[in-house]
Amino acid sequence: EADIYQTPRYLVIGTGKKITLECSQTMGHDKMYWYQQDPGMELHLIHYSYGVNSTEKGDLSSESTVSRIRTEHFPLTLESARPSHTSQYLCASRKGQGLKNTEAFFGQGTRLTVV
């Protein structure tokens, strides 16, 4: 079983609220990722990180921000939630081996509903 955890699993929040989605992994992986996925749809990469103090924007523009102060922790923050942010957010991690592709492990996801 993969050691990557997301909290909360479900979140219903009002418009305009600030929220932080937590993602932690205990595998010592350098590379971490955030995806946004609507039901039955694609996995859209919104942020990724090569390691501590490195963050990059993904292919899908997002109003969220991320930080990577510790290897094991990659939180995602929305400063002002809107109904358009309603979606599932998936966190993933994998070993950093240069250009070599390695297996990615996913968290259980956070289902966010903004009302």
Task: Name the site residues for other proteins (rule: CB under 8 A).
Answer: 31, 33, 40, 42-43, 45, 48-50, 56, 58-59, 90, 92, 94, 96, 98-101, 103-109
Beta-carbon count within 10 A of 11 CB: 16
**Among residues 10 and 82, whose Cβ is nearest to other proteins?**
10
**Among residues 99 and 115, whose Cβ is nearest to other proteins?**
99
Q: Where are the alpha helices (DSSP H) in the chain?
A: none
Q: Where do we find the tokens 């990180």? A: 49
**Among residues 47 and 85, whose Cβ is nearest to other proteins?**
47
Between CA 79 and CA 26 the distance in angstroms is 27
- Least distance CB 10 / other proteins (angstroms): 12
- What pairs with residue 22 in β-bridges? 7
